[in-house]
Amino acid sequence: MGLRTQARQSSLQILYQIEVAKISPLEAIEDYFSSNKFPIQHKEFTESIVNGIYQHFDDLDRIISSYAKNWQISRMAIVDKNILRMGAFELLYANDIPPKVTINEAVELAKKFGDLDSPKFINGILDSVFRHEDIKKTA
């Protein structure tokens, strides 16, 4: 498994902890890495995802909500909405990651951590974000 794939899994676990335990991103990151040892590149990529999501949190939720027809973000499964936040963050703000890679990684996370319908749900929303938002990619 690639370093960035592992870091995305770590990011999802940290985002889950933030939401369930109602703790700050900084506290969740420190807690996670105090008991899990990874290379510095893993930690840096994980932190960039988590901190980036919280820097753009309201915009990400607004964008996701606009494409999640008949779904309120507050009623989505914690895993699904955090995978969507990660994917939307990468699509909109991580210019070095190709959109197809972002969407594929999100779908794979949904297969591993979501329920049976999660991959299709995640794919549909992120594909809509990609097709309709102003995505500027260098890769």
pLDDT tens digits along 57-116: 999 999 999 999 888 899 999 999 999 999 999 999 998 999 999 999 999 999 999 999
d(C-alpha 70, C-alpha 54), whole Å: 25
Quick one: which of 67, 74, 46 has its CA closest to 121?
A: 67
Is 20 within the bounds of a domain?
yes
The neighbour count for residue 49, using CB atoms within 10 Å, is 24
Is 139 within the bounds of a domain?
no
* Residues comprising the chain, all counted: 139
Q: What is the pLDDT of residues 92-105, one digit of tens each?
A: 999 899 999 999 99
pLDDT given at position 139: 44
Look at the block and give the residue holding tokens 């919280």. 54
Is 125 within the bounds of a domain?
yes
Query: What average pLDDT does range 4-19 have in this prediction?
Result: 98
pLDDT given at position 137: 54
Do the beta carbons of residue 92 and residue 63 sit within 8 Å?
A: yes
Domain with residue 71: its CATH number is: 1.10.940.10
Is 41 within the bounds of a domain?
yes
Residue 111, domain extent: 3-132
Q: What are phi and psi of 12, to 5 degrees?
A: -60, -40
Global confidence as pTM: 0.94
Buried b (16+ CB within 10 A) or exposed e, 73-101: eeebeebbbbbbbbbbbbbbbbeebebee
Is 17 within the bounds of a domain?
yes
d(C-alpha 80, C-alpha 92), whole Å: 18
Is 122 within the bounds of a domain?
yes
d(C-alpha 39, C-alpha 135), whole Å: 30
Structural domains in the chain (count): 1
Is 63 within the bounds of a domain?
yes
